[in-house]
Structure 1
Amino acid sequence: MEKSDVVGSSLIEHLINYGELKVWSVLVTILGDLAPRAGMYIPGPALAALTGRIGIKPQALRVAIHRLRKEGWIEGTKIGRVSHYALSEMGRLETERVEPEVYGSVAPERKQPYLLVIPPRSTDKMPPNAIKLSRDLYLSDHIPPSIDGLLTISGENRQWPDWVQEAVLPPQLAEQHEALTKLLSADHEDPADLEPFDRIALRILILHNWRRLVLRRSPLAPLFWDKEWIGTQCQYHVTRWLTALSRDDAQKAIHGAAVSH
């Protein structure tokens, strides 16, 4: 990401440097969080001010807007002389699809995992979420009904070896969960003491980095969720911060900023 000079909250700076921020993806996070429903828009000046606060230069913002409009993710309209932006219907549907995982405040209910052993030379397809552990061995959260000769082994209350857990949450992704958890659990400034736009920027950066992790990990991750699992710990701290930096306050502030511009 092309960054401008950023001065201010140390946590904002740490989150900007936590991982690569793709501008188009950040825009989807912003619009999905602050204008999530049909008929809701973010004025261009407010969008520019917010993205500038998290280090995105105006040219990079314009390129990302052009790309997302071309690909059908966002739409724009003019009210007077001011451009306003929102997710398209497709963009809203894609965002709503992952909302339960991204915004969930508690770990989802754990399903029973199954080891599936397919017959030799089988051409049947596994469920989309199934993880291939070896040539004929898969991990899944349900038993497909249409595979003849399938051997199923219940994984309930099973002590899973590390190599199976790493297939669900690869070490690099686990390290990124750990890094975000460490960052959000450290002592930082009270969000109530921040300027309104810093509060919005902080909310978006936390949400975006969490959303990236959620979208990159396997849907089977909840099979291993408990209080000690790093995904559970990370979700706890993300939820704590997003509660303190409420969505309603952010939406009011972003539209209030547009009026002042």
Structure 2
Amino acid sequence: MSDSATKELEALIDDFHSQERIRVWSLVITIFGDAVIPRGGELWLGSLQALMDRLRIEPSALRAAMSRLTADGWLTRLRLGRKSFYRLAEAGEAEFAEAALKIYAPRRSEWSGEWTIIVLSGRAGEERETRRRELRADGFGALGPTVFLRPDNIGNTCMPDTLPGEMIFHSRLDSKSDATKLISQTWQLSEVEKHYSKLIATFSPLERTLGKGVDLDPLSAMAARSLLIHHFRRMALRDPVFPAELTPKNWQGDEARKLVSTIYRRLAAPSECWLDGCLNSSGHPIAAPGFDIAKRFGI
């Protein structure tokens, strides 16, 4: 392990802890979705705590997060003696499988020209604002107070549930319409780009260090991988995944995805080595993934 790589990881952990509010439960979901599901879906709490220790997260904070996730139906727990093993519940696995299409799939995809359009019901006040936030989190843009839309392509296969009173349909723009102008009016792309730019600035030092052939020990590599995907996941799930013809020039999302893919490939082998040492409830090493983790992004 190199001191330079360790220094970069410590800087990433410092940045993570500088947030106004750390959502440990969300980080746990990232770790299970990214690293545990491909290996059978089950992890001993002791292994998870070792990873959290490397990320400087207190045991009490992890216990609170695990209790919340279990109570909310995200995780299921199996207790054997004094050991607790956890796995994502069925609903959680299904949701992350859909999210994975936006997180790991190649950025570009063919587009039919269709748009998915949702018209909200007559709800007012906080209910409407909550619904608007949910749709933005699913990559929809607001054309008006009650009209939301997004391009209907392979990167947007996850459809939100339609609430009572809402309408959902698909349509095409007239050939004379300016789709790029529609994009600029409907999505706050400057805000999205700001977050992508922050990710690039935050993780580029680690990419440069790893690019020199410098390695991290297995646990540190797993910690860096978890932070990388946790940061990127939040942005990727809010990205409308525009097809090439609708994407602004020099889009920072493309640069961010390329950077994340490069770092992920370099962390794959040592982080998987750490996972090889984790045990399941049968006392055996957790299963090996059924695909090459290093090729996950397909870029």
Aligned counterpart for 1:131 among listed residues 118, 128, 141: 141
TM normalised by structure 2 equals 0.65
* 2:190 matched residue in structure 1: 171
Aligned counterpart for 1:207 among listed residues 211, 222, 229: 229
* 2:275 matched residue in structure 1: 254
Deviation, structure 1 residue 104? 1.9
* 1:183 matched residue in structure 2: 202
* 2:252 matched residue in structure 1: 230
1:135-177, Cα deviation, whole Å (9 max, x unpaired): 79865425x9969xx9943488x5724x843632443332110
Cα distance in 1 for partners of 2:229, 2:30 equals: 8
The secondary structure found in structure 2 opposite 1:62 is: helix
Aligned amino acid, residue 103 of structure 1: Y
CA RMSD of aligned residues (A): 3.6
Aligned amino acid, residue 95 of structure 2: E
* 1:239 matched residue in structure 2: 261
Name the CA shift for 1:203/1:159 in 2 (closer, same or farther; >3 Å). same
Name the CA shift for 1:38/1:173 in 2 (closer, same or farther; >3 Å). same
Cα distance in 2 for partners of 1:32, 1:146 equals: 31
Aligned residues of 2:102 and 2:236 also touching (Cα < 8 A):
yes
Same amino acid, percent of matched pairs: 24
Name the CA shift for 1:238/1:12 in 2 (closer, same or farther; >3 Å). farther
How many residues align? The count is 236
Deviation, structure 1 residue 249? 4.6
TM normalised by structure 1 equals 0.74
Cα distance in 2 for partners of 1:10, 1:198 equals: 11
Uncovered stretches (5+) of structure 1, i.e. residues with no partner: 1-7, 119-127
Deviation, structure 1 residue 110? 4.6
Cα distance in 1 for partners of 2:50, 2:176 equals: 50
Aligned residues of 1:112 and 1:154 also touching (Cα < 8 A):
no
User: Is structure 2 residue 59 aligned with structure 1 residue 58?
Assistant: yes
* 2:71 matched residue in structure 1: 70
Aligned residues of 1:16 and 1:54 also touching (Cα < 8 A):
no
Instruction: Between the two structures, name the one with larger relative contact order (CA 8 Å, sep ≥ 6).
Output: 2
Cα distance in 2 for partners of 1:44, 1:78 equals: 10
* 2:218 matched residue in structure 1: 196
